[in-house]
Structure 1
């Protein structure tokens, strides 16, 4: 039986949620942008009215306002977006348990087994489209096809609030004339290489020798050839599928430049509070630590090191990350952003070899203490217990945001 795959893409998601929650924004050009005072002043998403002015995702706010002087700029409310993303997935789950997220606003659905109960793929897509509009006040574009790549391509072909079907027997006529850049996995660097050799459309890509594409792009070249020819067969993962966790990271762009080691230490400590909590939640230990900084000239530098002992202690990881930074950064420029990653993760039950110089007892005590702190914070809030050094202004914006829902909706 031929598979029936849907790809549902919530249109202009952030901006649509803002306009739905605030009807006064409807009909006006709206862009959800990072806060300029927090140095995230770029367009994250825009509505249809703003698109008409040529405003693009990723451009800075002042450029967007030059294109549209009446542009309404809204700060992002991520808790709301997460909420509506979950509500949409609850609707998808009414039709299948094979729902695979692809970002906050996109999902693949395998409805092959659902067609006996709910109709054809097109009919299921239409039911989902109408339900999301009626229950959430949002619109989606849905692609219907026989594999994930073409379903994704279909959802991109017609927007907003539309359904596109790409059938197995007619896909060549429908999509081979489209630019190769429309295909999943073909980014800016790849399209430059393809165009250099006269490969401009999906059809060009499909009719190119796979051996040539492998020489040009490596293993990814073979994958793209399969995508273009409709032979991609990857599965839609079920709801309870958990991707193996390889690392846990947290980063932030500070509201002011960091100018000394004393500025950097509390930022690292604050970031790793979250990392350690997540490691303990996942029952994982980190065997290594990595730190990446972006300086005031927007250059990135990254270092990593193995840990003498596997651990999920926030304080121990913070000390090692700070030591790694202190030994490598030369302070030719101030620092604009910091990201810390716990890497080479293993299960808490994984045996480890220790030596006479390991801080085993101290680390064990710290891990138990931090587990107790996690429980207290879960009951009374994250700010109920803090390191004293984090009670000052450390140049980081608070991550707490208020969740608002339309009147009458209880979730």
Structure 2
């Protein structure tokens, strides 16, 4: 829309290769037909489609138009639940008396978005959130797909199993070992087997495949309770030793500690995810003796987890630090017999002062000398964009 000369061509939005975000984030229909897939690395995409036009992401524009489209949605219903930047569930059950049938509302939304914003939208119309999401992906661009309660088996069950939400590559591969390759085969599979193979997620996707999802669309403005707070990053170059990893852990922990303060929460535990240069990810976690907001304490705990569990067979590509087992900061907390409370209180006063300086003069107004220079973290804020997580149920 912003560059009409790109219309009708094979175009892909790709992250920066220099900053290790070199994957396809979105693609045009022509690029899709050439075999380009979301998540494919840039060089592979260019091999599949030599004429591919690569453009950088424009998150400010995505966020702007996401907000504008949601404002249009809210003209038709107050139940609008975002799912990432560019998708929403709408419950229009109580709107049909005003605006007509679900199909009428879908058509009106599609035409309004096109007229006012110049964008096309693809809409799935169904009796539950799972099949509405599935329908929106079945036909693109500028389309409406209906998945009826009475006929969904004929339309949905022949599809590959990974067309279903929350069935990713790993889950697809596990299911394939048991001969489960389509959504219909998943629906007809033994629920107990799925639970043994996939845990709680096995039961969840079995329910989804059978059209039994009953989760509701949340009202506009509803916020999910914060269950964990984390910050992850793909480094600009592989980390090769403990010191390089410690610098990144400490930097990530600054953000985690700040967000804990913003939400008036404290961490009862720390979780660390490490992805090596072979793209294999491992996750570790531990409890804290005393709940904390301290970036230094969170960072040091993550450092201990790393040094205990990573044996340097491969270099490190990406790291995530997450505060877990969250508690309200104002709730009473059990002190630890061997903890030096005077030292802890002094550290908290120091970090209060640092937080206030950063609030007034900016994030980099005061920081650890260890974090000066190149610590292999990209300058861009691409990694801070929140992508879809679990839907509200």
TM-score when normalising by structure 2 = 0.86
Cα distance in 2 between the residues matched to 1:318 and 1:207: 46
Q: Per the alignment, in what secondary structure is the counterpart of residue 351 of structure 1?
A: coil
Q: Per the alignment, in what secondary structure is the counterpart of residue 275 of structure 1?
A: helix
Compute the RMSD of aligned alpha carbons: 2.8
Task: Give 2:20's match in structure 1, choosing from 34, 39, 49.
Answer: 39
Work out whether 1:309 is the aligned partner of 2:290. Answer: yes
Work out whether 1:182 is the aligned partner of 2:152. Answer: no
Task: Give 2:103's match in structure 1, choosing from 122, 141, 146.
Answer: 122
Work out whether 1:363 is the aligned partner of 2:344. Answer: yes
In structure 2, the CA distance between the partners of 1:300 and 1:399, relative to structure 1 (3 Å rule), is same
Q: 2:269 aligns to what?
A: 288
TM-score when normalising by structure 1 = 0.82
Shift in Å, 1:148:
1.2
Q: 2:7 aligns to what?
A: 26
Cα distance in 2 between the residues matched to 1:216 and 1:323: 32
Q: 1:170 aligns to what?
A: 151
Which moves more between the two structures, 254-263 or 136-145? 254-263
Q: Tell whether the 8 Å contact from 1:29 to 1:72 is kept in structure 2 after alignment.
A: yes
In structure 2, the CA distance between the partners of 1:384 and 1:136, relative to structure 1 (3 Å rule), is farther
Shift in Å, 1:136:
2.7
In structure 2, the CA distance between the partners of 1:48 and 1:349, relative to structure 1 (3 Å rule), is same
Q: 2:306 aligns to what?
A: 325
Q: Per the alignment, in what secondary structure is the counterpart of residue 308 of structure 1?
A: strand
Structure 1 runs not aligned, ≥5 long:
1-19, 402-411
Q: 2:388 aligns to what?
A: none
In structure 2, the CA distance between the partners of 1:199 and 1:330, relative to structure 1 (3 Å rule), is closer
Cα distance in 1 between the residues matched to 2:65 and 2:91: 21
Task: Give 1:80's match in structure 2, choosing from 61, 75, 80.
Answer: 61
Shift in Å, 1:283:
1.0
In structure 2, the CA distance between the partners of 1:26 and 1:213, relative to structure 1 (3 Å rule), is same
Cα distance in 2 between the residues matched to 1:58 and 1:354: 46
Cα distance in 2 between the residues matched to 1:261 and 1:184: 38
Task: Give 1:262's match in structure 2, choosing from 232, 243, 247.
Answer: 243
Work out whether 1:346 is the aligned partner of 2:342. Answer: no
In structure 2, the CA distance between the partners of 1:118 and 1:371, relative to structure 1 (3 Å rule), is farther
Shift in Å, 1:142:
0.5
Q: 2:386 aligns to what?
A: none
Cα distance in 1 between the residues matched to 2:349 and 2:85: 34
Q: Tell whether the 8 Å contact from 1:98 to 1:110 is kept in structure 2 after alignment.
A: yes
Structure 2 runs not aligned, ≥5 long:
383-393
Shift in Å, 1:32:
1.4
The Cα offsets for residues 281-326 of structure 1, whole Å up to 9 and x where unpaired, read as 1111011122232333444344322222211111222233223333
Cα distance in 1 between the residues matched to 2:278 and 2:160: 35
The Cα offsets for residues 159-214 of structure 1, whole Å up to 9 and x where unpaired, read as 11111122233334443444444333444455456556665544454455656666
Q: Tell whether the 8 Å contact from 1:311 to 1:363 is kept in structure 2 after alignment.
A: no
Work out whether 1:50 is the aligned partner of 2:31. Answer: yes
Work out whether 1:64 is the aligned partner of 2:45. Answer: yes
Cα distance in 2 between the residues matched to 1:46 and 1:232: 30
Cα distance in 1 between the residues matched to 2:274 and 2:157: 42
Cα distance in 2 between the residues matched to 1:90 and 1:182: 29
Cα distance in 2 between the residues matched to 1:138 and 1:381: 36
Work out whether 1:144 is the aligned partner of 2:125. Answer: yes
1:182-201 → structure 2 map (5 Å cutoff): 182-192=163-173, 200-201=181-182
Q: 2:89 aligns to what?
A: 108
In structure 2, the CA distance between the partners of 1:368 and 1:267, relative to structure 1 (3 Å rule), is same
Q: Tell whether the 8 Å contact from 2:13 to 2:26 is kept in structure 1 after alignment.
A: yes
Which moves more between the two structures, 124-133 or 200-209? 200-209
Q: Tell whether the 8 Å contact from 1:147 to 1:230 is kept in structure 2 after alignment.
A: yes
Task: Give 1:272's match in structure 2, choosing from 229, 236, 253.
Answer: 253
Q: Per the alignment, in what secondary structure is the counterpart of residue 126 of structure 1?
A: helix
Cα distance in 2 between the residues matched to 1:132 and 1:103: 18
In structure 2, the CA distance between the partners of 1:191 and 1:265, relative to structure 1 (3 Å rule), is closer
In structure 2, the CA distance between the partners of 1:306 and 1:163, relative to structure 1 (3 Å rule), is same
The Cα offsets for residues 235-266 of structure 1, whole Å up to 9 and x where unpaired, read as 11222333232221111121122223322222
The Cα offsets for residues 320-362 of structure 1, whole Å up to 9 and x where unpaired, read as 3223333444444432222211121111123222245324334
